[in-house]
Chains A and B, each alone.
Chain A
């Protein structure tokens, strides 16, 4: 396990990614936020950080952000503005200070000689940028990327220089169905090739991938995104329910924390159909 550290870091750059897109429920904006590199000894793609601006009362709590890229000088996050906290992140400027703790949680499996299918949807592409950077044999990787906004809003160009990228733009429910159909088809192909699959994106998409992985019996990892408050496993806010295949039989069928047992899970070890339905009385 990589021991996380808490650091106060300086923002070195924050640039919009693509043009803002006008959507029925408001503007869609994307940013690449660059921070000075924390003094991490190591990290794994799929891991995340908790991020909070150091000053400003309007954002009291931190937010989990997937690590997009780490270079010798910097830590890069890919942010889609979805609410007040991400809006505040979008307004961070060079020189601003942030509190970061990480790297947190589990990372994606990386097998040099195994055909590896990356399935990404929307902002779920973020951890795969770092994955493609770090993989010792990028020729064994290919990515299927589904997006409802223009591809210029996502860091696909930089990735396409290193790995094979198949990009599907869906503007209608029918086109979204087509994306899911192609995803299942690619998974079947990777099963035949003895490969593995890694997926990141919104929950409805991950649920489909989870179901396909179980049907096809393809070793598949899912990166779950849940609301989190602590990132340390203490608050129990981000639970996922395990399946009977969970490695520790004592915890099989019980909730585990996405922030510490995940966010990357093997699909067969989760039960995404199980509901945490015990309401407060």
Chain B
């Protein structure tokens, strides 16, 4: 069966619709002992900033019911380190490599995009609009249509021919309006959802479970929220949507495609089993057959009311 997924014709075509989500798969090399990373549809690598970033105070991870609360604070060695030392090791000729861009200033987004777009090994850029605040407004970039569009537009201008993916979180007034604004600003694809802000506490110690108090919730707990967002956005925009949030099985992939996703990104499932993403890729054809899906394009968005 044909599993190919075209996100941007000629520029971002995946051999299957299953990618790794930013912040959960490292650069991809971390998972090479557990499977062939070139068999994935794409690798969205960990969040990058212009300069090295120490990240959040410890502890950074806590388990919650069916979920994982994390605050990493975009710890990374900076874009130069990625381009010089990490990218050359990645099998970019065999699998699309998509870095995830983080900044507090629109100008930094632009500079980051320019540096990465110059690299032949980069297939597309994902703009993270939900993890850092816009220095001007003091809010997350995707908090309103104006700041979201401004960031996407800056990346798009600097990205040349590289497709731009705008990643949205649902913690905003109206995710559909923001989706429309990033589409108008030039985004080629939307990915959603990023994590949802949460808090986990230890009553005995009377402390937050995370060093930075609050963190981003991911995992199966957020899947219904992600499905709702993908369904709403895919009806509102003409660009493809990558579904992200709590995907653990090939059936979950079909759920996201049923509500309108062109592709998906597997996130924290890789933490509960390092083979999870490879198993999902392997099992997708059989699960499609089980559910009578013979054409993913025809199946996409076929949710009945």
Residues of A participating in the B interface, judged by any CB pair closer than 8 Å = 3-6, 25, 50, 52, 57, 60-62, 84-85, 99, 101, 226-239, 241, 250-251, 254-255, 260, 275-281
Contacts and interface: CB of A to CB of B under 8 A. Distances in A.
B23 to A, nearest CB: 7
Interface stretch (B11-19, B26-34, B151-159, B286-294): B26-34
B66 A279 contact: no
**Chain A residues touching B, majority SS:** loop
Given A229-B70, A236-B46, A281-B104, A276 B57 contact: yes
B56 A234 contact: no
Contact of A276 (B23, B52, B58): B58
Interface core residue of A52, A238, A277 (most chain B CB under 10 Å): A277
Contacts of B71: 280
23 contacts: A5-B33, A6-B34, A52-B272, A60-B68, A84-B63, A101-B274, A227-B58, A227-B60, A229-B68, A230-B30, A230-B274, A231-B274, A232-B34, A235-B70, A235-B271, A236-B75, A239-B58, A241-B54, A254-B77, A276-B57, A276-B75, A279-B212, A281-B132
A81 to B, nearest CB: 15
Contact of B61 (A60, A227, A241, A277): A227
A146 B67 CA distance: 36
A227 B59 contact: yes
Interface residues of B, number: 48
Contacts of A251: 77
Given A235-B24, A239-B60, A276-B58, A229 B271 contact: yes
A57 B66 contact: yes
**3 tightest Cβ-Cβ pairs between the two chains A and B:** A234-B26, A237-B61, A229-B271
Q: Which among B52, B73, B204 has the greatest number of chain A C-beta atoms within 10 A?
A: B73
B57 A277 contact: yes
Interface in B22-47: 23-26, 30-31, 33-34, 46
Interface of B: 23-26, 30-31, 33-34, 46, 52-63, 66-68, 70-73, 75, 77, 81, 104, 131-133, 204, 211-212, 214, 219-220, 268, 270-275
Contacts, number: 134
A237 B60 contact: yes
Contacts of B72: 235-237
A204 to B, nearest CB: 14
A239 B214 CA distance: 18
A99 to B, nearest CB: 6
A25 B63 contact: no
A51 to B, nearest CB: 11
A254 B81 CA distance: 13
A99 B273 contact: yes
Given A5-B33, A6-B274, A230-B274, A278 B73 contact: yes
A60 B66 contact: yes
B64 to A, nearest CB: 9
Contact of B26 (A101, A233, A254, A276): A233
Contact of A226 (B26, B58, B81, B133): B58
Contacts of A99: 273
Contact of A234 (B73, B77, B104, B270): B270
B77 A61 contact: no
B24 to A, nearest CB: 6
